[in-house]
Amino acid sequence: MSELKKLREKKNLTQEELSEKSGISVRTIQRIEAGTEPKGYTLKTLAATLDVAEKELLKQKEVLEEVFIEETLVVVEEKEVVNFNLIKIINLSSLPFAWLPIANFLPPILIMLFTKEKSQITKQIISLQIFLAVISPVIFMIVALLKVGSKAVLLTIVLLTLANIYIILRNAYEIDKKNVLFCKLNFSVL
């Protein structure tokens, strides 16, 4: 329903009554209510007659534009074709280097570049491994600088490696079952 029709009915006016009050022809009012956008003198006169701001007569078009933009974005997102078997391989390629944080993101990046699988989920996998490659040495250095003993340092290395292995395997399981990641970041490094 057009904004003009809503406002006219809210004031309990017929098209003929609005035409008499405003001096705008009934045919013009019908065209506007059918979807034609009022402009210039007609817009000002109708707004003054109905005692509303001019922009209130134009709301319908703005809403239609917003809906159109949202639908366009959805269509763009649906066009992304994802090979989940390849994504699972990219994720699992970090496993052999899970104990070496500096290298754990190199195999996924190389596979992504050679296969040209640059989907959002692939970027999330690589971003997560890069994040772990940065955060693991920081945690290790903090534990080492606290001088809590060599056993604590060794335990930290083992726990960080096990955490990375768990993340890789859990993500592989979720990709296989639900085509989503279990562990992911709210941002992308790539």
* DSSP letter assigned to residue 185: -
Q: For residue 144, with 0-12 CB atoms within 10 Å meaning exposed, 13-18 middle and 19 or more buried, which class applies? A: middle
16 — pLDDT class (breaks 50, 70, 90): very high
117 or 1, greater pLDDT: 117
- Residue 171's pLDDT is 86
What is the pTM assigned to this prediction? Answer: 0.54
Judged against a pLDDT cut of 50, whether residue 103 lies above it is answered with yes
71 or 38, greater pLDDT: 38
What are the pLDDT digits (tens) for 109-155? 888 888 888 888 888 888 888 888 888 888 888 988 888 888 888 89
Contact partners, residue 146, CB within 8 Å, separation at least 6: 152
47 or 60, greater pLDDT: 47
What are the pLDDT digits (tens) for 155-169? 988 998 898 899 889
Judged against a pLDDT cut of 50, whether residue 182 lies above it is answered with yes
For the chain, give the number of residues. Answer: 190
- Residue 100's pLDDT is 81
60 — pLDDT class (breaks 50, 70, 90): low
Tell me if 3 sits within 8 A of 35, measured CB to CB: no
Judged against a pLDDT cut of 70, whether residue 75 lies above it is answered with no
Tell me if 57 sits within 8 A of 38, measured CB to CB: yes
Which domains, and CATH codes, for the chain? 3-78 (1.10.260.40), 84-178 (no CATH)
- Residue 73's pLDDT is 47
- Residue 121's pLDDT is 83
27 — pLDDT class (breaks 50, 70, 90): very high
SS3 103: coil
> CA separation (Å) from 13 to 18, 26, 31, 88, 107?
6, 12, 17, 64, 71
Please give the backbone phi and psi of residue 13, each rounded to the nearest 5 degrees, phi first: -115, 145
